[in-house]
Amino acid sequence: MPPSLATKAATLHDVAREAGVSLITASRALGNPSLVSEKTIERVQKAVEATGYIPNLLAGGLKSRRSLLVVGLVPAISVAQFLPTVQALTEALDAAGYQLILGQSGYDHAREEKLLNTMISRRPDGIVVTGLVHSPVARERLRRAGIPVVETWDLSDHPVDMLVGFSHLKVGSAIAGYFLGKGWQRLGIATGDDHRASVRREGFLATVGREVPTAVVPAPSSLALGRLALAELLEKDPATEAVYCSSDQLAQGVLVEAQARGLRIPQDLAVCGFGDADFAAHMQPSLTTVHVDGAAIGRLAAQLIVERCRGQTVAQPVVDVGFRIVERQSTGGPSVKTGPMPPKGS
């Protein structure tokens, strides 16, 4: 940027002078027009154009104590699962005049604490966390800060503040029930090593009622790791009939590896994923999986934050959005060809 062009930005002061009104009148004309006459508003708006004024939210936020900033924390941006949530969150917040600051908390408590501190120093009007806040120090700090917090994608008896999620224990249990209902006995689990996946596994085991061969892969999971996982499972039990995978990416890898080994799906091996990624319905064979409305989670989280910021009392601070098993060909579901589809909205 040639420094010559970087002339000092116009301030509200300049606008007020240009419009021939006082500072505060200019401020109101822009931020609270109902208090100002139409004529003045017009003059101020003209002055804004003339000066090229762009408001300074830092200064405004300092006085008004509303930063119009919301912090969003994800374990890592590349975790596809949370993308619809982040996208919907960003959109819903934007519509209400808020922007999202993104942070990657990793899978590490120390980092989570440090990051939250940094973020709180921005005085955000709200914080949305994917998953629960695990570090006790961080939980306490958030409570102290008095900032509206929404934990998501999980359920807890003791949320920091508000929560939009569902029970991973029930998900695991539901999948196990589904497998048992199909009469499959020789089961396998391919799972990531993160907290939520572990809870799903617990639910799965609780319903099965005994140990099940398991391949654990480091998060974030991927197609490549799925291939590896199936290899491991077949080594443990070559006659495995059905595998539950903690993500659709993992399940895709399991399918690829199974096909590479000449196994027929689902006759020789049934597979169930988690997440209902956009490709799940359109693979060949299509993938049975667990659908969670990630976009709804984002929208609801935004709504809770905004309501709080407006001083409204939130009727339902803990929302369970539930989930549902979507049965497709990989577990012998309906073999109707799903076929090419129009693009999804958004």
Partner DNA sequence: CTGTTAGCGCATTCAC
Partner DNA sequence: GTGAATGCGCTAACAG
Q: Is 13 in the site for DNA (CB under 7 A)?
A: yes
Choose the contact partner of 13 out of a copy of itself, DNA, none; CB within 5 to 8 A by kind: DNA
Encoded amino acid at 312, one letter: Q
Size of the site for DNA (CB under 7 A): 29
How far is Cα 307 from Cα 6, in angstroms, rounded to an integer?
39
How far is Cα 266 from Cα 127, in angstroms, rounded to an integer?
43
Q: Is 76 in the site for DNA (CB under 7 A)?
A: no
Backbone angles phi, psi at 124, to 5 degrees: -70, 155
Please list every residue from 248 through 267 that binds DNA, using CB under 7 A: none
CB-nearer residue toward DNA: 97 or 218: 97
Placement of tokens 């912090």 in the chain: 71
CB-nearer residue toward a copy of itself: 37 or 56: 56
Choose the contact partner of 257 out of DNA, a copy of itself, none; CB within 5 to 8 A by kind: a copy of itself
CB-nearer residue toward DNA: 39 or 310: 39
From the centroid of its chain, how far is CA 275? 12
CB-nearer residue toward DNA: 28 or 328: 28
- The DSSP symbol for 81 reads G
* Nearest Cα residue to 200 out of 180, 182, 184, 216: 216
* Nearest Cα residue to 70 out of 132, 32, 28, 127: 127
How far is Cα 189 from Cα 203, in angstroms, rounded to an integer?
12
How far is Cα 212 from Cα 146, in angstroms, rounded to an integer?
44
How far is Cα 6 from Cα 329, in angstroms, rounded to an integer?
61
> Considering the complex, what minimum distance in angstroms separates the CB of residue 205 from a copy of itself?
24
How far is Cα 197 from Cα 178, in angstroms, rounded to an integer?
18
> Considering the complex, what minimum distance in angstroms separates the CB of residue 58 from DNA?
7
Please list every residue from 14 through 43 that binds DNA, using CB under 7 A: 21-25, 27-28, 30-32, 35-37, 39-40
Choose the contact partner of 316 out of DNA, a copy of itself, none; CB within 5 to 8 A by kind: none
CB-nearer residue toward a copy of itself: 202 or 232: 232
> Considering the complex, what minimum distance in angstroms separates the CB of residue 235 from DNA?
58
Q: Is 12 in the site for DNA (CB under 7 A)?
A: yes
**Cα Rg of the chain (Å, integer):** 26
Please list every residue from 48 through 67 that binds DNA, using CB under 7 A: 53, 55-56, 59-60, 62-64, 66
Enumerate binding residues for DNA (CB under 7 A). 8-9, 11-13, 21-25, 27-28, 30-32, 35-37, 39-40, 53, 55-56, 59-60, 62-64, 66
